[in-house]
Amino acid sequence: MELRTLGGTGLRVSPVGFGASPLGNVFGDVPRDVARATVRRALDLGINFFDTSPYYGGTVSESVLGDCLRFAGVPRDSFVVATKCGRYKEGFDFSAARVTRSVDESLARLGLDYVDILHCHDIEFTNLDQIVNETIPALQKIKESGKARFIGITGLPLSIFTYVLDRVPPCSVDLVLSYCHYGINDTALVDLLPYLKSKGVGVITASPLAMGLLTDNGPPEWHPAPEELKLACRTAADHCRKKGKHITKLAMKYSLMNNEISTVLVGMNSPEQVEENVAAAVELSTSGIDEELLHEVEAILEPVKNLTWPSGIQQA
C-alpha cells in the first residue's frame, strides 16, 4: 500500500487504518494472543495507522492496543496512534480539566510518551461553543506540551465540522474524523472536502461498511439507521452474493478510491480481517473495482442515497 499524506500534518499513513474498537471486546471477546497476532499482521502488511479511544470497551481498547504494539517490538516512529478524549464509558465531559487529565490516562494505558493525534470524540453531544471556547484551547496546550502532536474533532453530523472550524483560529484543528458519510450508500462528505482543504484540515473517514449495513450479516440490532436504509443495504448485499461477490470488499474498495481522504478506518479483530482489508486496497491499485457491480449496487441504493440518522443534542 502506498502511504498518503494526512492533511498538513506531514504524517504519512496507510490508506487502510486499523480501527481498534474491537480490541475493547465491543463486538465479542478477543483473546490477547489473537489481538497481538492481529496487530502484528497489520504492521507486517503495511498498516501503520491505529485508532482507539478510552470509550471503546471502557478503556480496554487502549490498554490492549498498547500491549499489542509493545509485543510487536517495532520502533515508535514506524506507527501512528490516534486516541480520543471527551467521551467515556460513564458519559461525556469536554471540560478543559477532564481532557487534560484524559490524555495522561490514555498515554499510561497505551504505554506511550505521546500520541500522534488526540481527537475530541463525538462533539455533537455537547454544546459546540464549549468545544470552540474551552476544549480546543485545552488541546492546544496539550499539543504544546508534546503529549499529542496533532489534534482533531470527530462526530457524525457534518455540520459540526464547519461550525467549529469557522469559529476557531486558523490551524487550531489539524484533522477531522468523519464516519458513515463516505461509502457506497452515503457520499455526503465529498461536498465538504473542498472546504476542509481550504482550512488546511486533513480528512479521516471511518465505517466504510456503514457500521455493518454493507455486510452479508447485516447490521447489529441496535443500529440507528432507518428501516428503509437497512432494507436497501440488505437487498444490495443479497445482489452481490447472488453474483458470487461480497459487498464488504466492494464497499471497502469504494471508500479507498478517493485520494483526498487520507485513510479509511475499519475495525479489525483477527489476522484474517486484516488480510481481507489489505487485499481490497492492493486489488484496487492493481485491478481497480468491479464497475458493473458497483453501478448495480449504486442503483439499488439510489433511493436511500445519503440517508442518515440523528446523533447528538440539538444546538441552540
The whole-angstrom separation of Cα 197 and Cα 218 is 34
Q: Which of 56, 88, 182, 254 is catalytic?
A: 56
Residue type, 138: A
C-alpha cell at 3: 502511504
Closest-CA residue to 176 (of 147, 148, 155, 149): 155
The whole-angstrom separation of Cα 62 and Cα 107 is 9
13 near 3, Cβ under 8 Å? Answer: yes
Beta bridge partners of 266: 18
Angle made by CA atoms 58, 62, 65, in degrees to the nearest 5:
135
| Cβ partners under 8 Å of residue 58, min gap 6 | 24, 88, 89
Distance, CA of 168 to chain centre: 23
* Beta strands 12-13; 4-5: pairing state: antiparallel
The whole-angstrom separation of Cα 13 and Cα 25 is 25
DSSP E strands, the chain: 4-5, 12-13, 16-19, 49-51, 80-85, 87-88, 91-92, 115-120, 148-155, 175-179, 202-206, 263-267
56 has catalytic annotation: yes
Residues belonging to the active site: 56
